[in-house]
Amino acid sequence: MNKDNPPLSTNFIQNIINEDLKNGKNDGRVHTRFPPEPNGYLHIGHAKAICLNFGLAIANKGLCNLRFDDTNPSKEDIEYVESIQADVKWLGFDWEDRLFYASDYFDKLYEFTLGLIKSGNAYVCDLSAQEIREYRGTLTEPGKDSPYRNRSIEENLDLFQRMREGEFPDGSRVLRAKIDMASPNLNMRDPVLYRILRSTHHRTGDNWCIYPMYDYAHPISDALESITHSICTLEFADHRPLYDWVLDKVDYSGDAKGRPQQIEFARLNLSHTVMSKRKLRELVMEGYVDGWDDPRMPTISGLRRRGYTPESIRDFCDRIGVAKRDSVVDIALLEHCIREQLNQHAPRVMAVLRPLRVIIDNYPEDQVEWLEAENNPENPSMGSRQIPFSREIFIEQEDFMENPPKKFFRLSPGGEIRLKSAYIIKCEEVVKDENGAIIELHCSYDPDSRSGGATSGRKIKGTSHWVSAQHAIKAKVRLYDHLFTSEDPDDCEEEGADYKSQLNPDSLRVLDDCRVEPSLAAAEPGSRFQFLRQGYFCADAIDSQEGHLVFNRIVSLRDTWAKIQKENRSNQ
Ligand code: ATP
Ligand code: MG
């Protein structure tokens, strides 16, 4: 983590708020909003914006609205409206009765716009989109005035009303702000405020054939909701003069209190993934992943399905803090946050992902012992459970090697291991098929080696997890890796390559023949466990059910974030 990023509670936006409160600005009110456009599912970057906006409201006894910025009907959909609400709620935030839509303000906005035209601050322009671009100039050259710039107020009013009535074809005319074609800020060179677009809106239907632009609708929506601090990402810093211009020129005072202030912060970028909604949509629509909630996706629904908890995501957003400069956060930090939580709270169980049959020849054939096993040594209040032991068990294939290298502390011919919460076994014989593949092991066990037994203290280097063959339950396990192999998949675009060329072909591995201990038979969909030595897993909320268990690996046990931190400290 970057030292420049203080935690949420002490971030620079809070400092601005402190100053405002001290000066009695906005009568001491703090009112923020989270303004998603319903054109895709929310991702972890949005989670940061949600935690920031709702978090600041909570910390300052203020309010936070949820507002859909639905000014672009051609890309928006009710499916997104619903998923966004579900995600914000799941993250643990409550907008109470303050759910709004920019489209709620279309009438008001139209009325304000007539005022803007009457005060000579807006005009109808007949240039084509291409011509508008050409007239705009560049960063080094001023723009040129549109030939329609000096239309009379009467003509502008007449044309704008006829635009609204549907007299003109799509794209034939726009309404523009009359600001300054020579402004050094391109956003101030007579930006478009309204366009003609015949597209059915998911809320207003076909009531409108003109739609306001985001930069125009946004400050007015903020003002109408009496927002005090309008927090957005850095790329809008150059739009701030336009935001303020709109608030200066539009007379909203009869409809709102105070005046909102736009404040920009750095968006979250996460390594090994992409965060652009366009790209995430492409991955879904073109089938590179299995939907918006694919557990490999950085979407909130994907993280939820993977097994992340709301607490772990809020913790992550808190730790990355709020900065004024863009940076990339290591995905290992996100993984660290869920690991820390589950280390305390997830029950530990035994599951064998790649089973190898072991027959314990000196164990009585019909005997079953129910052995006590701790549920979480980190958290004794979680108690213990009984697990069955019998003559045939499964261990992990990788826990046996016929020709082990030095320092292989697991099972090998003639060698011993301790079975977790059970006995010490010794490998007596390896059985192979005609192709030389190992099919089973014959072992002996030391009956006194269990906890409390005479030989329980014997020094054995390796401990393995296991399940009783006759009691174990079959399960399917999905192991995930980064969605993209490269740290910054967008990077390759500078060399003209497609970010999709960086997709990780091994981001999903499915193991169909795993065996889990019987206590998992009725694992609740969505419940989380530590599979000893294998990582943290979640029973898939959609695919898993009794009789057909499916587990997603949330993260492995190896905490690369803690390792990086340790290395950083020792290098200092
Ligand atoms: P689009 O390109 O579709 O506008 P967007 O990611 O900006 O994509 P919005 O729905 O407009 O999506 O975002 C809602 C809010 O979330 C905005 O205030 C935006 O600034 C914030 N946001 C979006 N992406 C991030 C991110 N990566 N980090 C932090 N905040 C983000
Ligand atoms: Mg946006």
What's the gap in Å between 429 CA and the centre of ligand 2? Answer: 64
Token readout for 249 is 């020129």
Residues 424 and 493 in one domain: no
The response to whether residue 48 sits with its C-beta less than 6 Å from ligand 1 reads yes
Residue 62 falls inside a structural domain: yes
Pocket of ligand 1 contains residue 39 by CB under 6 Å: yes
Position in ligand 1 atom list of the atom nearest CA 39: 3
- Beta-ladder partners of 205: 201
Please, are residues 554 and 323 in contact by the beta-carbon 8 Å criterion? no
Residues 17 and 161 in one domain: yes
> Which one of 238, 265, 292 terminates a domain?
265
**Residue 43: inside a domain, yes or no?**
yes
What's the confidence (pLDDT) of residue 206? 97
Query: Are both 16 and 111 inside the same structural domain?
Result: yes
Q: What is the pTM of this model?
A: 0.94
Domain end residue (candidates: 198, 232, 265)? 265
Sign of the Cα pseudo-torsion (308, 312, 318, 321, in order): negative
Q: Which of 13, 37, 56, 75 to mutate to test the pocket of ligand 1 (most atoms within 8 A of CB)?
A: 37
Print pLDDT tens along the chain (572 aa).
334 444 455 689 999 999 999 999 999 999 999 999 999 999 999 999 999 999 999 999 999 999 999 999 988 899 999 999 999 999 999 999 999 999 999 999 999 999 999 999 999 999 999 999 999 999 999 999 999 999 999 999 999 999 999 999 999 999 999 999 999 999 999 999 999 999 999 999 999 999 999 999 999 999 999 999 999 999 999 999 999 999 999 999 899 888 999 999 999 999 999 999 999 999 999 999 999 999 999 999 999 999 999 999 999 999 999 989 888 999 999 999 999 999 999 999 999 999 999 999 999 999 999 999 999 999 999 999 999 999 999 999 999 999 999 889 899 999 999 999 999 999 999 999 999 999 999 999 999 999 889 998 899 999 999 999 999 999 999 999 999 999 999 988 888 899 999 999 999 999 999 999 999 999 999 999 999 999 999 999 999 999 999 999 999 999 888 888 888 888 76
Statement to judge: residues 222 and 106 lie in one domain: yes
Q: Which protein residue's CA is at the shortest distance from atom 23 of ligand 1?
A: 46
The answer on 458 and 479 residing in a single domain is no
Q: Quote the pLDDT of residue 24.
A: 94
Ligand 1 atom nearest to 236, measured from its CA: 20
Q: Are residues 315 and 429 in the same domain?
A: no
The ligand 1 atom at the shortest distance from the C-alpha of residue 49 is 30
DSSP3 helix / strand / coil % (the chain, rounded to 5)? 35, 25, 40
Question: Is residue 232 lining ligand 1, measured as CB closer than 6 Å?
Answer: yes
- Does residue 2 lie within any of the structural domains? no
> For position 9, what pLDDT does the model report?
53
> Relative to the CA of 50, which ligand 1 atom is closest?
16
Supply the DSSP symbol for 89: H
CATH code at 114?
3.40.50.620
Q: Are residues 420 and 358 in the same domain?
A: yes
Q: Residue 425 maps to which CATH number?
A: 2.40.240.10
Claim to verify: residue 255 and residue 281 sit in the same structural domain: no
> HEC string of 330-352?
CHHHHHHHHHHHHHHHCCEECEE
Last residue of a domain, one of 419, 434, 465: 465
What was the pLDDT predicted at 494?
Answer: 87
pLDDT at 571: 76
Q: Where in the sequence is the domain holding 375, given as residue range(s)?
A: 351-465
Q: Is there a domain that residue 342 lies in?
A: yes
1 belongs to a structural domain: no
- Shared-domain flag, residues 165 and 284: no
**Residues with Cβ < 8 Å from 494, sequence gap 6 or more?**
none
**563 domain residue, yes or no:** yes
For residue 524, report the distance from its CA to the centre of ligand 1, in Å. 34
Residues 310 and 414 in one domain: no
Q: Do 170 and 80 belong together in one domain?
A: yes
What pLDDT sits at residue 10? 62
Pair 366, 383 in one domain: yes
pLDDT at 218: 98
| Residue 470 is assigned to a structural domain of this protein | no
Ligand 1 contact, 38 CB (< 6 A): no
Q: How many structural domains does the chain have?
A: 3
Does some domain include residue 481? yes
Question: What is the full DSSP assignment across 463-493?
Answer: EE-EEETTT-EEEEEEEE--SBSSS-GGGGG
